[in-house]
């Protein structure tokens, strides 16, 4: 079943109260703040944050920022910021590198469980700007209270040669996919990072829903290749995904592809 929409909330299936963890590559930070803006416009109170690092200018996309380890009154300031602005970015502290350090998954759980918060959207790993990511042993850092994990990939990687300019953590990617350096990033191999136990959904809480997000569709000459990859991900029982979003966060255009239940059989429509 397919739906075209400009609404990220409906494309991702966001409910009344969600803890959304973003993993993978291809535009997580952009997606985080685009979703935050939609939630804010819908009257929701939300926190954006990270368990890794983001640039300070990116954190400044939020109308109010709090550094949890730099201000003894940070928790009260979070509540005040939510009441006044509706959206607060919480970091651990600023870094000399021009980035801000992320918070612990335990603190993310604590923030989400506070009843004043409707949504927490967290960037749960980094990809150094690459469209494809394979997680290292310590990644991703997904909090236990996450209700939805969104695994991202940039569609510009399809059919490109496998090297470190396209893939972050290429050694891990080799282990997961069996692909060698210089070989083409085919749809078959890219599905594996969504379905492998060591792939993008590694560490996802058992109760959390899974969504695959194929971003930057605007960089492809047509969407047939992306639709085919989406279908392969949906058909993979190991991936346990019930919806794939194909689209462009920058263009605010999304094709939602879901499984339709007919009797006891799931079919792609």
191 vs 222: which has the higher pLDDT? 191
Q: What is the rounded average pLDDT of the residues 143-168?
A: 97
- pLDDT beyond 70 at 263: no
Classified as helix, coil or strand, 170 is helix
Does residue 219 sit in helix, strand or coil?
helix
Dihedral sign (CA 218, 224, 230, 232): negative
Q: Tell the residue number behind the tokens 């870094």, with chain if given.
A: 95
- Evaluate the CA torsion angle 190, 141, 53, 23 in order and state its sign: positive
Set out the domains of the chain in order of their start, with CATH numbers: 2-53+119-268 (3.40.50)
Rounded mean pLDDT, 115-131: 95
Averaged over 82-91, what is the pLDDT? 97
**Whether the bond into 140 is cis, omega within 30 of 0:** yes
Q: How is residue 58 written in tokens?
A: 């990116």
Answer yes or no: is pLDDT of 2 > 50.
yes
pLDDT at 261: 53
Average of pLDDT values for 26-55? 96
Q: Among 18-27, 53-62, 252-261, name the one with the lowest average pLDDT.
A: 252-261
């Amino acid at each position: 079943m397919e739906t075209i929409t400009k609404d990220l909330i409906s494309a991702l299936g966001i409910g009344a109260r969600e803890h959304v963890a973003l993993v993978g590559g291809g535009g997580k930070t952009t997606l985080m703040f685009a979703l935050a803006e939609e939630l804010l416009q819908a009257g929701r109170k939300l926190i954006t944050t990270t368990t890794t690092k983001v640039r300070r200018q990116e954190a400044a996309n939020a109308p109010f920022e709090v550094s949890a380890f730099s201000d003894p009154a940070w928790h009260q300031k979070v509540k005040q910021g939510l009441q006044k602005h509706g959206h607060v970015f919480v970091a651990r502290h600023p870094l000399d590198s021009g980035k801000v350090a992320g918070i612990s998954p335990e603190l993310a759980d604590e923030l989400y469980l506070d009843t004043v918060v409707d949504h927490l959207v967290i960037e749960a790993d980094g990809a150094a700007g690459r469209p494809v990511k394979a997680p290292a042993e310590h990644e991703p850092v997904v909090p236990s209270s996450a209700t939805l994990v969104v695994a991202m990939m940039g569609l510009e990687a399809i059919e490109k040669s496998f090297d470190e300019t396209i893939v972050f953590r290429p050694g891990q990617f080799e282990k997961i996919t069996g692909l060698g350096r210089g070989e083409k990033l085919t749809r078959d191999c890219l599905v594996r990072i969504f379905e492998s136990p060591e792939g993008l959904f590694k560490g996802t809480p058992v109760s959390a829903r899974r969504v695959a997000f194929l971003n930057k569709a605007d960089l492809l000459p047509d969407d047939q290749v992306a639709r085919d990859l989406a279908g392969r991900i949906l058909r993979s029982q190991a991936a346990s995904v019930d919806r794939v979003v194909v689209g462009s966060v920058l263009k605010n255009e999304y094709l939602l592809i879901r499984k339709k239940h007919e009797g006891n059989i799931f079919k792609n429509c």
